[in-house]
Amino acid sequence: MSEFTVRPATTQDVRGIQAMLEPFVQRRILLGKDLVVLYEATQQFVVAENSAGELVGCGALHVMWEDLGEIRTLIVVDEWLHRGVGRVIVESLEENARRLGLARLFCLTFEVEFFTRRGFAPIGEQVVDPDVYSQLIRSPDEGVAEFLDLAHVKPNTLGNTRMLKVL
């Protein structure tokens, strides 16, 4: 088994991230992201690369509120599944979340078992106080809308499970 490392993404990784994302967009597992959006979010990403320097996975941590973040765009290329890549990416993102002072992590996923093994649990409707809700609802970010389970994003979230982990 080849080894891999996880490190913060650089702008040189962005096109590789988009290339990893595209098959998942085609399979309707993840939503596509324009290249400019990926460049703008470079600092949110970590990437996994094999010993040959090829990207084999990635994930991003998006801050949503003072104590709340989202793990998004978690990808492991098919050839590297079940080798611990996803686990190490999530651990790295959790470490980043703690460093930023976050206490909870949200994810929207089809991979319920994977996230359950990492301490995430499905969530219900009301997961923030009404005053926080009134602030979050102003965000233009689709991930925030998915977290709040707003009606306009439901076509994008069908089949997904909303999950939360307390760090």
pTM: 0.88
* pLDDT (tens digit per residue) in 128-145: 777 887 888 888 888 787
* pLDDT (tens digit per residue) in 15-61: 999 999 999 999 888 888 999 999 999 999 999 999 999 999 999 99
Higher pLDDT: 87 or 162? It is: 87
Write out the two tokens for 86: 């996803």
pLDDT surpasses 60 at 1: no
Q: Going by C-beta distance under 8 Å and a sequence separation of 6 or more, which residues neighbour residue 74?
A: 57, 58, 59, 60, 86, 89, 90, 107, 109, 111
Half-sphere CA count of 71, side-chain side, radius 13 A: 33
Per-chain mean pLDDT for the chain: 91
* pLDDT (tens digit per residue) in 107-132: 999 999 999 999 999 997 667 777 88
